[in-house]
Amino acid sequence: MYQSLQAFKKEMKKHKKELTTFLKGLPRRKVKGLSSKFYRLHKEAYGKIDCGQCANCCKTMTPTYTKAEVKRIATHVGMTEKEYWAKYLRKDKAGDIVNRKQPCHFLDKDNRCTIYAIRPLDCRQFPHTQKKDVLFQKEIHIQNLDFCPITFHVVQRLNEIVLKEAAKQ
Ligand code: SF4
Ligand code: SF4
């Protein structure tokens, strides 16, 4: 869908304000079948956008880790938890465990995750467009608009659909 990340960023900049306002106002709109619509658009987005070509989340954001995930990953790479913390992790202002640096140290040059099978739940669930509680997730979607072409596609298409439905009423 986007020729490059630059093309996505350019398009996103044009629509960011409109889509942020749309998401903020979504609870008031009482959209019929919101979860199903969102999920359908999530599937549509994955049919159009190749995460393997993009990897922008792994390049520019950090996952959050549970303590159990840190332990599992440290063992997997042959380090003690202490060594792993010192080399790769920190706590952010909210107290979440996050990467020290971006891109993620597990992203290889071909945009592949080298711990794919044991990656954190946060990575597995990103960008959360598969979740049914759309209204609960809306602040996350607003944040992710800047980084994620899948999120941008889903929210932009939903905006179009909702506007079209409203015009018919
Ligand atoms: S989830 Fe979003 S940011 Fe991450 S690789 Fe896929 S399209 Fe890119
Ligand atoms: S652990 Fe893997 S999926 Fe998660 S941010 Fe790092 S490279 Fe991406």
Q: What is the average pLDDT across 9-36? A: 94
- Ligand number nearest to the C-alpha of 101: 2
Asked if residues 90 and 98 have their Cβ atoms less than 8 Å apart, the reply is yes
Strand order across the 64-65 sheet: 64-65, 97-99, 89-91
pLDDT of 4 strictly over 70: yes
How far is C-alpha 38 from the chain's CA centre?
A: 15
Ligand 2 center–CA 107 separation, angstroms: 6
Average pLDDT in the chain:
95
Residue 63, ligand 1, Cβ within 6 A: no
Asked if residues 130 and 42 have their Cβ atoms less than 8 Å apart, the reply is yes
Residue 127, ligand 1, Cβ within 6 A: yes
- Ligand 2: lining residues by beta carbon, under 6 Å: 58, 63, 104, 106-107, 113, 115, 119, 123
Q: What pLDDT is recorded for position 6?
A: 87
Ligand 1 atom at shortest distance from the alpha carbon of 147: 3
Ligand 1 center–CA 8 separation, angstroms: 11
pLDDT of 1 strictly over 90: no
With tokens 């889509």, the residue in question is 19
Please give the model's pTM, rounded to 2 decimal places: 0.93
Looking at residue 126, its amino acid is F
pLDDT in tens, 98-137: 999 999 999 999 999 999 999 999 999 999 999 999 999 9
| CA nearest to 15, candidates 135, 152, 158, 128 | 152
Distances (CA, A) of 40 to 84, 95, 137: 39, 34, 16
Structure tokens at 2: 């986007």
At residue 107, the 3 state secondary structure works out as strand
Residue 147, ligand 1, Cβ within 6 A: yes
Residue 54, ligand 1, Cβ within 6 A: yes
Ligand 2 center–CA 168 separation, angstroms: 43
